[in-house]
Structure 1
């Protein structure tokens, strides 16, 4: 099975043919429009097997799969201490494993934006994290940790690792968090301001069955988004 996460930077209806070149079974896509409300029939047809959440029909988080793959949306809480976090999309794939799509957001929070949103989501749902792949745009890296904050990127990684959930990229390439050699995001599409902020975390089962993980490093991708796709291939 091949799974790709990518922030398409909007207008997926004009870009999904680029994804088809990857030939993935499942795509976790950030900043995409809701297929049901799109006026593009080709996009609707391509997205006929999907789950989607978002604040507006023009920009949200979607999981798209090949027609033969079963996606069952899971009812996990997105509320922590009366605060609703976003965006998180949990589902079960083929009644076999859990998949959580992530697009962390500032969410008008003065203290818990981006990785803080995911930290809160973990506090509410950590008991659900079994046989799981977590993928998406986290808008976060250990280089932005703050000394007086208890929900830094490092804290989130540690919490996941305590459940046996680790970054596929970092385990495969034997690179430390914050010392990634392959960036996934280019601020204003500038190679001088590039960072690794897109991740695929997974339970140990998936590490054992990992065949390949790669960042699609190409100028062609930067023409249509400020993110590169991150893809993993598993043998089940």
Structure 2
């Protein structure tokens, strides 16, 4: 199975066709508009099999699947945390799609949002087929010494649930020492960061990981798509 995560930086209706080359089964897209409220017929046709959630019709998170792969929203209340979409793929594979945001939180912005969600111990993440995928707006290099919900704390919690980062496994790199950026802040090459991730449970084997290059992706977004090729063990 091939899974992509990409923060499209808005206007996904004009960009989705660029992802066809990957021939993915599942797309996790941040900052995309709600297909149900879009007037673009091509986008609506593309989004014939999807789930979406967001604070406005123009910017949310969507999970799009190949025809024939059922998507079901998992009944788990994330409360005011932003922005998460719990999905069951093909009636058997739990996915937590993520786009962590500040969420008007004075303390627990961005990665703190995921840390708080994990404290709720969502049962669907305890299965071997679980996945946590998306734009976390976070990196271990930004850990603060006196904060107990750093990026590294979240990674440790995920590992305790059996979920490991596919990128770091595949390339044998440490958290915070990534050599392939997934974000060029403000589309500036001098501001490269790695903030997009795919964590997979023990039921998955990682066969390949690919990070999109500057061409053509930097023309479309400040984020690069990350492609995970996985197989059930």
> What TM-score results when the alignment is normalised by the length of structure 1?
0.95
Paired residues of 2:76 and 2:122 also in contact (CA < 8 A): no
User: What is the aligned partner in structure 1 of residue 6 from structure 2?
Assistant: 6
Gaps of 5+ in 2: none
Matched, 1:112 2:102: no
RMSD: 0.9
User: What is the aligned partner in structure 1 of residue 183 from structure 2?
Assistant: 185
Which whole-Å deviations, capped at 9, do the CAs of 1:107-129 have from their partners, x for residues lacking one? 11111000000000111134331
- Shift in Å at residue 151 of structure 1? 0.3
What is the distance in 2 between the residues matched to 1:161 and 1:151?
15
**Equivalent in 143, 146, 155 of residue 157 of structure 1:** 155
Q: Please, which moves more after superposition, 118-127 or 39-48?
A: 118-127
Q: Please, which moves more after superposition, 123-132 or 99-108?
A: 123-132
Map 1:41-190 → 2, pairs under 5 A: 41-79=41-79, 84-129=80-125, 130=127, 131-190=129-188
Q: Please, which moves more after superposition, 123-132 or 86-95?
A: 123-132
- Shift in Å at residue 140 of structure 1? 0.2
Which whole-Å deviations, capped at 9, do the CAs of 1:78-127 have from their partners, x for residues lacking one? 13xxxx21111011111221111000000111110000000001111343
- Shift in Å at residue 75 of structure 1? 1.1
Paired residues of 1:52 and 1:60 also in contact (CA < 8 A): yes
- Shift in Å at residue 59 of structure 1? 0.4
Which whole-Å deviations, capped at 9, do the CAs of 1:40-65 have from their partners, x for residues lacking one? 00000000100000001000000001
Aligned to 1:125, what secondary structure does the other structure show?
coil
> What TM-score results when the alignment is normalised by the length of structure 2?
0.96
Aligned to 2:121, what secondary structure does the other structure show?
helix
Moved over 6 A (4+): none
Which whole-Å deviations, capped at 9, do the CAs of 1:181-211 have from their partners, x for residues lacking one? 00000001111111000000011121xx221
- Shift in Å at residue 133 of structure 1? 1.0
Paired residues, number: 230
What is the distance in 2 between the residues matched to 1:23 and 1:63?
15
What is the distance in 2 between the residues matched to 1:219 and 1:233?
21
**Equivalent in 178, 196, 210 of residue 194 of structure 2:** 196
Paired residues of 2:182 and 2:211 also in contact (CA < 8 A): yes
